[in-house]
Amino acid sequence: MDQIIFLGTGGARAVVSKQLRASGGMWFTIGETHLIVDPGPGALVRANANRKPKLDPTRLDGIILSHRHLDHAADVNVLIDAMTSKVKNRGTLFLPGDAIAEDPIVIKYARQRIGEIVILKEAGSYRLGDVVFDTPVGHIHVATEAYGMNFRTGTKTVSYIADTRFFPELIDHYTGDVLIMNVSRYANPEGYEVDHLNVADARRIIEGVRPEVAILTHFAMSMLRAKPWKVARALEEETGVEVIAAWDGMRYELPARL
């Protein structure tokens, strides 16, 4: 069965540095293909510790970075090492161009071991084994190149809105049946713009997209204080859409393929 494992649901420096929530990103199994998205600090440890299902980083087929920040990419090099530990020059790494340009997040040793490096671009389409996905639009996020993704599985489309400031086109580009959003902040300080989604932004997106289910993740301190499960319940009542606040180790199963 196609599934998504949330290896970590924490985001931003305070939560990640204290590991108040884990920061391992998401493991996707689609068909026979395994990939990890946004492997922040602890991704390798969290993957190896997972038991239901048992995950094996040496069997990874690919890694996707939405952007180069450490809470999304700190474990990319060690995961490349794991993915290529049995066979060198295998696996695919997808990432924005600035992640391997000046001051690259992926070290030269790891780049020499990976089978293929694919640069993500706006309106790009990609395939890896049973995984087909696109990066529809560039995000607005702290002077770095960042993208979300739409994954086409055998039965559903899963949209992932990675770190970004809200802009209306997000509603047009991420129309998946399952909508995963990095909602880091409960609210922005008055008069202060932040390049992360907050709860009000999430509500606007959910109301615009009307997915079958919305999953919130990547919580900073203000979201933890607000208790994400309570935020999700309130959003569900306000929008009429099922809303889940992800937790570390959560498994979300997609319908079986026909």
- Print pLDDT tens along the chain (258 aa): 899 999 999 999 999 999 999 999 999 999 999 999 999 999 999 999 999 999 999 999 999 999 999 999 999 999 999 999 999 999 999 999 999 998 999 999 999 999 999 999 999 999 999 999 999 999 999 989 999 999 999 889 999 999 999 999 999 999 999 999 999 999 988 777 789 999 999 999 999 999 999 999 999 999 999 999 999 999 999 999 999 999 999 999 998 765
Q: Any residues with CB less than 8 A from the CB of 59 and at least 6 apart, and which?
A: 34
Burial class (CB in 10 A: 0-12, 13-18, 19+), 200: middle
Contact status, residue 249 vs residue 41, Cβ threshold 8 Å: no
Q: Any residues with CB less than 8 A from the CB of 240 and at least 6 apart, and which?
A: none
Domains of the chain (ranges plus CATH)?
3-249 (3.60.15.10)
Contact status, residue 58 vs residue 3, Cβ threshold 8 Å: no
Q: Rounded CA gap, 58 and 72, in Å?
A: 20
DSSP letter assigned to residue 182:
E
Write out the two tokens for 242: 């099922």
